[in-house]
């Protein structure tokens, strides 16, 4: 079931109606049933994968809980008899057991994801290698289906297991409730990637109908529709045309496509998030923010703090810190200090961890070398910016550059936007080599006359479409500026006169209906992150 | 939710509904080219006082080109309205009659059978839309769209059809806003906002005073075999008339027709007569002479009469209707003042039009 469909709106209305009318005790069951109906509307067969991951995670969670419980009980029971050393041994034994359980859960869940998502990619590359080595045997290409949302719910399940291992909370002992945590419909398809301690209790608690909350949820959904239908899908027309026929374009038009794609992905993904968060808010559930105005970022690392926040924080908690604080990386740091000096040696574990994180972020997006390159692009920029930071600081100081004024911040934002846009060549181009070729031709053949010779009107968009795009971007920008200043837009609107509020709401509905890219001649694009 | 909130929500939803209904109304079938007369005609139909019509004419574009409703009114006091659309799919005849009969209790329907030719039976979204998008939202409209979709599928499954199937945008057929909401790009007209209706009771205005010298029809009496699709469509209309108590009169409108076109029409007329239906072929030398059709001045192109030809045809056909169907003379009745007014305006329209054209 697509978010952008009448079916989804009807589904949310019915589900909310049933949820609020149901007795408190069974409210969570309504959500569970709704979430499974939502998932099954897309595919019944693929539901088995979700059930499998849920079952594996649940059982492993129970196992971890049992190990903890048994250890605690034993320690409590034999408190007097056990020496400190004995306790340490027991704890180590339990820790080892827990590690096996975590490893099993991660291997099974991640293994399934890797198998389904990357088997053909890995197989294809191995085949090329085998061919070069003269080995006749090849790995077959399998016709694999990728279950909806697997990239998201797998990460969610891993976070749950690792947090249990870390003793952050107790395991869920109700399989059905846990199934709801794993399958909650607004976030199953494209996130946000939820943490058990943030989401589960909200799902299990009953929520009453609250007029203000429900209307705010509806407003958020409407905002998501605006972003997706008016901006993202309109930009997609030109972006797709250029990327699908990249050889026919040069210079600025290629950059326009890359920058446009960045904006498209933002409007598309954050629009999807708004719809997800809005639907959850109607039901009284608060989902995590996934975007904080990424195009206001002043550096690539700042950009990644604002972009796909739940993936970033997942990577930070479950990859970056475990890696950078690991004994192996600490040893590596010590050794390299001797060779490269203190600064590099000290920073190396961080650099390597960053690099690995961004490589994983890139690969998480899809099974293609272009995503590997996308990860390397981001990782390289971040690592080099940290590495060059002292020199950069000195340079600015020598040149007497005022870094406290708006113009400097604006320059940083533009610079970040350009760097991000170049990165988009990798994530959107047909292949890695095409992306490299497009970058080359963007830089080598600047053609400023395209702004004046009507080239932009040959990208599948009419001039009136560009007006709509300008206005939509301006609205997005204005909202962004207000949010940066800490203004809560929906609350601000709620303070206005009734007539003005209604004008805004009705205007927004009419704008989506008239200016949205849907209907005859258009196929409402699937959410981009839904495909990851 | 408090009572105030509930009330506020209800008012908001009602307001939203009204605004959306208006917006959807504006972004409808474009009022340009050939569709402007269709919009005008359907607009008038929905504004007509209920149960004031005696008879309705349905069919392709030749119908409103040949029929001058105000003249028939003035001569015989009969209210006979043309509800045709350009290349109207004949398969929609019964649906259109249902639509008319929701407002007008007509006992006689005249069906032009030019649309029975295989060439015109080919499904085409634009042809379908001229009918379905002109209809107000209703169960009948829903049924008509459903029928169009079904017909289109079945047509392309026929053994004698070799064309590649053309997919119809199903959702947009039901909800025309899906197609027309992008009209802000191509341009909206004042008529889209203000609505329109005919003051001349559906008289065709756009090219009424053009003249084209056309080669007269080389009349043939040849016939061939109708295929099962053509037969089933005609059967459906006959059965509809029998079931609903509506007298159906099939006609072949006068115009220049090729030999092949005549053969198909002749065959259909023969089939209808064999079935005991009333049918008149106006494309015979005898009928041309009786009406007084002059191919050098009564048509504006080979398929359509101009207003001069329309007046001749209306004189002839309205007399036929008057002689053969017992329509009450309603001239002088208060509720038919609009028809009197329409005749007065038509006379002005006709005289001014030809004066301008002759200059």
pLDDT digits (tens, 9 = 90+) for B197-253: 678 898 988 889 999 999 999 999 998 989 999 999 999 999 999 999 999 999 999
The predicted structure's pLDDT at residue A517: 87
| Pair of tokens at residue A365 | 């997006």
Give the span between the Cα atoms of B223 and B233, in whole angstroms: 18
Rounded to 5 degrees, φ, ψ at B135 are -80, 145
Q: How far apart are the CA of A514 and the nearest CA of chain B, in angstroms?
A: 5
pLDDT at A525 over 70: no
> What own/partner pairs with CB < 8 Å and gap ≥ 24 does B102-105 have?
B102/B138, B102/B140, B103/B45, B103/B46, B103/B48, B103/B50, B103/B51, B104/B48, B104/B50, B104/B51, B104/B52, B104/B53, B104/B56, B105/B51, B105/B53
pLDDT at A420 over 60: yes
Please return the burial class of A188, using the count of CB atoms within 10 Å of its CB with bins 0-12, 13-18 and 19+: buried
Q: How far apart are the CA of B73 and the nearest CA of chain A, in angstroms?
A: 43
pLDDT at B354 over 80: yes
Give the span between the Cα atoms of B202 and B316, in whole angstroms: 19
- Residues 409-468 in A contacting B (C-alpha not used; CB under 8 Å): 462, 464-465
Give the span between the Cα atoms of A192 and A292, in whole angstroms: 13
All residues of chain B having their beta carbon less than 8 Å from the beta carbon of residue A494 are none
Q: Is the separation of the CB atoms in A206 and A301 below 8 Å?
A: no
A513 touches chain B (CB under 8 A): yes
The predicted structure's pLDDT at residue A529: 64
Q: What angle do CA B310, B314, B315 make, to 5 degrees?
A: 120
Cβ neighbours around A144 below 10 Å, total: 12
Q: What angle do CA A489, A493, A495 make, to 5 degrees?
A: 120
Q: How confident is the model at residue A191 (pLDDT cuts 50, 70, 90)?
A: confident
Query: Are A510 and B19 inside 8 Å of each other by CB?
Result: yes
DSSP-assigned letter for residue B81 = E
pLDDT at A524 over 60: no
- Name residues whose C-beta falls within 8 Å of residue A267's C-beta, 6 or more positions apart in sequence: A227, A228, A231, A232, A235, A476
- Mean confidence (pLDDT) of chain A: 89
Classify strands B299-301 and B304-305 as parallel, antiparallel or unpaired: antiparallel
The predicted structure's pLDDT at residue A523: 61
pLDDT at A5 over 90: no
Give the span between the Cα atoms of A195 and A199, in whole angstroms: 6
Q: Is B108 helix (H, G, I), strand (E, B) or coil?
A: strand
Give the span between the Cα atoms of B60 and A52, in whole angstroms: 61
Task: For an interface test with A, give the residue of B21, B182, B184 to mutate (most A CBs within 10 A).
Answer: B182
Give the span between the Cα atoms of A102 and B242, in whole angstroms: 78
DSSP strands (E only) in B275-332: 278-281, 299-301, 304-305
Give the span between the Cα atoms of A238 and A171, in whole angstroms: 49
Classify strands B55-58 and B247-252 as parallel, antiparallel or unpaired: unpaired
A140 touches chain B (CB under 8 A): no
- Mean confidence (pLDDT) of chain B: 91
Q: How far is residue B98 from each of residues A498, B279, B309, measured CA to CA in Å? A: 45, 21, 30
Give the span between the Cα atoms of A208 and A226, in whole angstroms: 28
Domain ranges of chain A: 6-209
Give the span between the Cα atoms of A42 and A183, in whole angstroms: 13
Q: How far is residue A16 from each of residues A64, A191, A235, A236, measured CA to CA in Å? A: 35, 20, 33, 32
Query: ipTM > 0.95?
Result: no
Q: Is A456 helix (H, G, I), strand (E, B) or coil?
A: helix
pLDDT at A522 over 70: no
| Pair of tokens at residue A425 | 């060549």
A478 touches chain B (CB under 8 A): no
**H-helix or E-strand spanning residue A271:** helix A251-282
Query: Are A505 and B12 inside 8 Å of each other by CB?
Result: yes
Task: Report how many Cβ contacts below 8 Å link chain A to chain B.
Answer: 46
Quick: pLDDT tens for A435-463: 999 999 999 888 888 888 888 888 889 98
Which of A514, A520, A521 lies nearest to residue B184, judging by beta carbons? A514
Rounded to 5 degrees, φ, ψ at A42 are -90, -45
Q: Is the separation of the CB atoms in A241 and A179 below 8 Å?
A: no
Classify strands B108-112 and B80-82 as parallel, antiparallel or unpaired: unpaired
The predicted structure's pLDDT at residue A530: 63
**H-helix or E-strand spanning residue B80:** strand B80-82
A20 touches chain B (CB under 8 A): no
Q: Is the separation of the CB atoms in A377 and A426 below 8 Å?
A: yes
């Amino acid at each position: 079931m697509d978010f952008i469909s009448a079916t989804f709106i009807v589904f949310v209305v019915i589900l909310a109606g049933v949820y609020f009318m149901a007795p408190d005790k069974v409210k969570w069951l309504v959500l569970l049933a709704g979430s499974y109906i939502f998932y099954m509307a897309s595919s019944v067969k693929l539901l088995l994968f979700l059930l499998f991951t849920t079952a594996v995670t649940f059982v492993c969670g129970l196992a971890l809980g049992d190990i903890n419980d048994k250890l605690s009980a034993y320690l409590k029971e034999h408190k007097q008899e056990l020496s400190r050393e004995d306790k340490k041994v027991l704890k180590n034994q339990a820790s080892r057991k827990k590690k096996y359980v975590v490893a099993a859960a991660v291997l099974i869940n991640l293994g399934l994801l890797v198998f389904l998502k990357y088997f053909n990619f890995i197989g294809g590359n191995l085949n090329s290698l085998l061919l070069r080595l003269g080995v006749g045997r090849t790995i077959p290409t399998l016709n694999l289906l990728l279950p909806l949302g697997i990239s998201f719910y797998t990460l969610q399940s891993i976070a749950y297991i690792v947090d249990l291992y870390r003793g952050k909370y107790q395991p869920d002992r109700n399989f059905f409730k846990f199934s709801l945590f794993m399958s909650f419909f607004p976030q199953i398809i494209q996130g946000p990637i939820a943490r058990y301690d943030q989401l589960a209790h909200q799902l299990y608690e009953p929520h009453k109908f609250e007029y203000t909350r429900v209307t705010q949820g509806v407003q958020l959904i409407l905002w998501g529709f605006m972003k997706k239908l008016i901006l993202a899908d309109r930009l997609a027309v030109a972006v797709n045309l250029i990327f699908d026929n990249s050889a026919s374009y040069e210079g600025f038009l290629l950059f326009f496509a890359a920058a446009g794609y960045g904006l498209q992905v933002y409007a598309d993904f954050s629009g999807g998030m708004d719809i997800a968060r809005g639907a959850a808010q109607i039901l009284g559930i608060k989902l995590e923010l996934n975007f904080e105005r990424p195009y206001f970022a002043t550096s690539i690392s700042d950009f990644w703090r604002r972009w796909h926040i739940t993936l970033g924080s997942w990577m930070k908690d479950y990859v970056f810190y475990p890696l950078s604080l690991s004994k192996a990386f600490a040893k590596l740091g010590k050794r390299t200090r001797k060779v490269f000096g203190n600064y590099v040696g000290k920073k190396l574990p961080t650099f390597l961890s960053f690099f690995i994180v961004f490589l994983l972020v890139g690969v998480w997006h899809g099974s293609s070398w272009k995503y590997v390159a996308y990860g390397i692009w981001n990782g390289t920029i971040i690592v080099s910016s940290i590495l060059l930071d002292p020199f950069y600081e000195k340079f600015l100081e020598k040149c007497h550059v005022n870094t406290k004024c708006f113009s400097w911040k604006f320059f940083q934002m533009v610079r970040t936007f350009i760097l991000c846009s170049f990165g988009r060549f990798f994530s959107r181009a047909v292949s890695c080599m095409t992306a490299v070729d497009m970058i080359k031709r963007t830089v080598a053949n600047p053609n400023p006359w395209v702004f004046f010779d009507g080239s932009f009107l040959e990208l599948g968009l009419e001039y009136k479409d560009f007006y709509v795009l300008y206005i939509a971007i301006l609205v997005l920008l204005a909202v962004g500026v207000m949010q940066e200043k800490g203004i809560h837009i929906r609350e601000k609107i709620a303070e206005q006169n009734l007539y003005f509020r209604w004008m805004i709401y009705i205007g927004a509905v009419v704008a989506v209906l008239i200016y949205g890219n849907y209907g005859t001649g258009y196929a409402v694009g699937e959410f981009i992150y839904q495909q990851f | 939710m408090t009572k105030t909130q509930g009330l506020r929500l209800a008012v908001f939803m009602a307001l939203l509904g009204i605004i959306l209904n208006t917006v959807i109304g504006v972004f409808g079938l474009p009022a340009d080219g050939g569709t402007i007369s269709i919009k005008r005609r359907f607009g008038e139909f929905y504004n007509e006082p209920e149960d004031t019509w005696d008879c309705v004419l349905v069919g392709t574009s030749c119908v409103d080109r040949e029929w001058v409703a105000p003249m028939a009114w003035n001569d015989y006091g009969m209210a006979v309205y043309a509800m045709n659309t350009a290349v109207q799919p004949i398969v929609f005849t019964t649906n259109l009659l249902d639509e008319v009969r929701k407002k007008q209790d007509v006992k006689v329907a005249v069906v032009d059978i030019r649309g029975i030719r295989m060439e015109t039976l080919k499904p085409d979204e634009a042809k379908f839309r001229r009918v379905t998008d002109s209809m107000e939202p209703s169960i009948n409209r829903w049924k008509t769209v459903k029928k169009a979709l079904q017909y289109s599928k079945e047509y392309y499954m026929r053994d004698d059809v070799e064309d590649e199937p053309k997919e119809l945008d199903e959702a947009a057929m039901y909800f025309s806003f899906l197609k027309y909401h992008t009209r802000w790009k191509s341009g909206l007209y004042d008529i889209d906002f203000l609505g329109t209706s005919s003051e001349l009771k559906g008289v065709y205005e756009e090219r009424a005073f053009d003249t084209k010298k056309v080669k007269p029809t080389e009349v043939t009496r040849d016939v061939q075999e109708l295929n099962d699709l053509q037969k089933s469509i005609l059967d459906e209309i006959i059965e509809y008339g029998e079931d609903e108590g509506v007298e159906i009169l099939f006609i072949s409108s006068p115009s220049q027709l090729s030999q092949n076109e005549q053969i198909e029409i002749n065959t259909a007329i023969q089939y209808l007569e064999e079935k005991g239906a009333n049918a008149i072929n106006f494309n015979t030398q005898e009928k041309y002479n009786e009406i007084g059709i002059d191919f050098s001045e009564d048509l504006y192109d080979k398929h359509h009469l101009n207003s001069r030809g329309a007046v001749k045809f209306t004189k002839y056909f309205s007399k036929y209707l008057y002689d053969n169907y017992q329509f009450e003379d309603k001239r002088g009745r208060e509720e038919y003042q609009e028809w009197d007014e329409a005749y007065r305006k038509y006379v002005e329209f006709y005289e001014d039009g030809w004066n301008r054209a002759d200059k």
